[in-house]
């Protein structure tokens, strides 16, 4: 069996070299597109506004008819009709004429500017212009907001509130978005029991399947809960094969008990070609992290400790799921903070420290290390807002050093 302990950078490079791409795309109603990733550029098929449009309530005129008009020397124009909003003009104007118009209505034929209603007086069919306008004044010309053919949004952009509005403006009611990858999540280990069941003596409840399902959502995937795989090679393999048939990506986490040391890597390697990509990364914590490719599908085996499993998911599995989801995997959620105390690295290994973020009395963000030892797996999970990284060549990060913290959950 191919087995290598890689540095984190080597592991990431191997993953990059796979050249993973988005699964495919589907057309959805714009109403349902929120949170999805565009699988097409949005190009406007029309000028916006689609016609010359008044930006005020007032009177459409030929500007030259108003030249020199002022309060003491008004100009008198003949009212030729009115233009309503939402309707094409049924009136045109000639020299000496004007048409009533409201904000948003189309400029009638013959007019080249609009006098604001405040600068006019109305009496019968004679409109008194008290102020001159320049050509194009108070008009928004066709296509000045967006021109037909203009690219408004790019493939890969996430559809949020603003993007929904922009797409609607072009008249599109449907939009092509990337498929959401399904991610099978399973736990292994004889000591874990499904929440909701009675807890037999000597057992603990499964944590990882749930935190990892949450992390799958936060990566742009849709989790499929496979439950707990029995700690026996043939059954484990059967469960993994089922997971592989149901999902685009498989994520397992190891119970501490999982059999002979190499059982999981071996079983995962045997799922399909090309097989194991790496088994073991020189990081602390998270060393046993394993990844294989079966066909085109990535399969991950993460550590059993809940905080380590979530950390390694973020470092290794999340970028892969994001890529398969068509998401920009550089879309990473970080905050700058100050180290609350000195934090040491593990000798020669890239070290990650789980931290809790809080504000100090000076309103600075402070990152306090959270114990990841065996003494508090769930406490760690509950408290760790994110993690910081100590490079291999650094012995420690000192108190008050500025650090970059990657958040484990998105704020919203």
Binders of a second copy in range 144-203 (CB under 8 A): 144-146, 152-153, 159-174, 189-197, 199-203
**Cβ closest to a second copy, residue 189 vs residue 298:** 189
In the structure, how many helices (H) and strands (E) does the chain have?
Answer: 9, 28
What's the CA gap between 48 and 162, in Å, rounded? 16
The reply to whether 333 sits near a second copy by the rule CB under 8 A is yes
Alpha-carbon distance of 46 to 351, in angstroms, equals 54
CB of 39 to a second copy, least distance (A): 18
- 124-129-130-134 Cα dihedral, nearest 10 degrees: 160
* Residue 43 lies near a second copy (rule: CB under 8 A): no
Report the residue from 3, 4, 31, 135 that binds a second copy according to the rule CB under 8 A. Answer: 31
Among 217, 241, 262, 356, binds a second copy (CB under 8 A): 217
How far is the first Cα of the chain from the last one, in angstroms, to the nearest whole number? Answer: 43
- Closest to a second copy by CB, 7 vs 136, is 136
137 binds a second copy (CB under 8 A): no
Nearest residue to 316 (alpha-carbon basis) of 22, 4, 16, 2: 16
Rg (CA), the chain: 32
Interacting residue with a second copy among 10, 12, 18, 51 (CB under 8 A): 51
Window 236 to 275, contacts with a second copy (CB under 8 A): 255-257
Q: CB-based contacts of 11: which residues, under 8 Å, 6+ apart?
A: 277, 278, 281, 289, 291, 316
Kindly state whether residue 85 participates in binding a second copy, applying the rule CB under 8 A: yes
- Please state the closest distance from residue 310 (CB atom) to a second copy, in A: 6
Per rule CB under 8 A, is residue 359 in the interface with a second copy?
A: no
- 357 in contact with a second copy (CB under 8 A): no
Binders of a second copy in range 374-393 (CB under 8 A)? 374-379, 381-382, 384
With the CA atoms of 145, 147, 148 and 154 taken in that order, what torsion angle do they form, in degrees rounded to the nearest 10?
-80
CA nearest to 100, candidates 58, 150, 37? 58
CA distance 89 to 86: 9
- Within 276-305, the residues that bind a second copy by CB under 8 A are none
- The CB-of-410 to a second copy minimum distance in angstroms stands at 3
What is the x/- site pattern for a second copy, positions 8-27, by CB under 8 A? Answer: --------------------
Task: Determine the interface stretch with a second copy among 10-18, 70-78, 83-91, 269-277 (rule: CB under 8 A).
Answer: 83-91
- Most distant CA pair in the chain: distance in Å? 100
Helix, strand, coil tally for the chain in percent (to 5)? 20, 35, 45
Comparison of 18 and 46: residue with beta carbon closer to a second copy: 46
Residue 331 touches a second copy, criterion: CB under 8 A: yes
Which of 10, 190 has the CB closer to a second copy? 190
Distance of CA 248 to the CA centre of its chain: 20
Task: Using CB under 8 A, count the residues that bind a second copy.
Answer: 95
Least Å from the CB of residue 130 to a second copy: 22
CA dist 376 → 146, 265, 371 (Å): 56, 27, 7
Helix (H) or strand (E) holding 242: helix 233-246
- 171 vs 274, which CB is nearer to a second copy? 171
Nearer to a second copy, 257 or 395 (CB): 257
Report how far residue 115's alpha carbon sits from residue 181's, in angstroms, rounded to the nearest whole number: 56
Q: Is 338 one of the binding residues for a second copy (CB under 8 A)?
A: no
């Amino acid at each position: 069996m191919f087995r290598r302990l890689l540095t984190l950078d080597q592991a990431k490079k191997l993953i990059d070299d796979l050249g993973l791409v988005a699964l495919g795309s589907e057309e959805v109603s714009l109403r349902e597109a929120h949170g999805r990733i565009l699988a097409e550029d949005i190009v406007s098929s029309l000028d916006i506004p689609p016609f010359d449009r008044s930006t005020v309530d007032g009177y459409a005129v030929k500007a030259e008819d108003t030249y020199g008009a002022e309060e003491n020397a008004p100009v008198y124009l003949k009212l030729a009709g009115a233009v309503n909003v939402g309707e094409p003009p049924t009136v045109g104007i000639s020299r000496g004429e004007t048409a009533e118009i409201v904000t948003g209505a189309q400029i009638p034929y013959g007019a080249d500017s609009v006098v604001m209603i405040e600068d006019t007086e109305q009496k019968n069919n004679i409109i008194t212009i008290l102020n001159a306008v320049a050509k194009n004044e108070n008009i928004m010309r066709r296509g000045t907001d967006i021109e037909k053919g203009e690219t408004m949004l790019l493939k890969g952009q996430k559809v949020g509130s603003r993007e929904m509005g922009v797409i609607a403006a072009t008249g599109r009611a449907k939009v092509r978005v990337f498929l959401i990858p399904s991610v099978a999540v399973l736990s292994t280990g004889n000591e874990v029991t499904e929440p909701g069941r009675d807890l037999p003596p000597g057992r603990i409840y499964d944590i990882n399947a749930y935190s990892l399902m949450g992390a799958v959502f936060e990566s742009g995937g849709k989790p499929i809960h496979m439950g707990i795989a029995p700690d026996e090679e043939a059954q484990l393999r059967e469960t993994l094969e089922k997971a592989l048939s149901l999902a685009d990506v498989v994520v397992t986490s190891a119970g501490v008990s999982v059999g002979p040391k190499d059982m999981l890597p071996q079983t995962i390697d045997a799922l399909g070609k090309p097989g194991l990509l790496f088994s073991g990364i020189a990081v602390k914590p998270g060393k046993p992290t394993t990844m294989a490719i079966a066909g085109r599908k990535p399969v991950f085996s993460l550590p059993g400790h809940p905080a380590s499993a979530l950390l390694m998911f973020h470092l290794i599995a999340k970028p892969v799921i994001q890529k398969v989801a068509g998401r920009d995997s550089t879309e990473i959620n970080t905050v700058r903070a100050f180290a609350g105390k000195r934090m040491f690295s593990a000798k020669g290994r890239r070290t990650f420290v789980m931290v809790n973020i809080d504000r100090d009395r000076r309103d600075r963000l402070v990152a306090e290390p959270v114990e990841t030892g065996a003494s508090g797996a769930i406490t760690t999970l509950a408290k760790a807002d994110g993690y910081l990284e100590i490079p291999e060549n650094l012995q420690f990060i000192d108190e008050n050093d500025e650090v970059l913290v990657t958040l484990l959950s998105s704020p919203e």
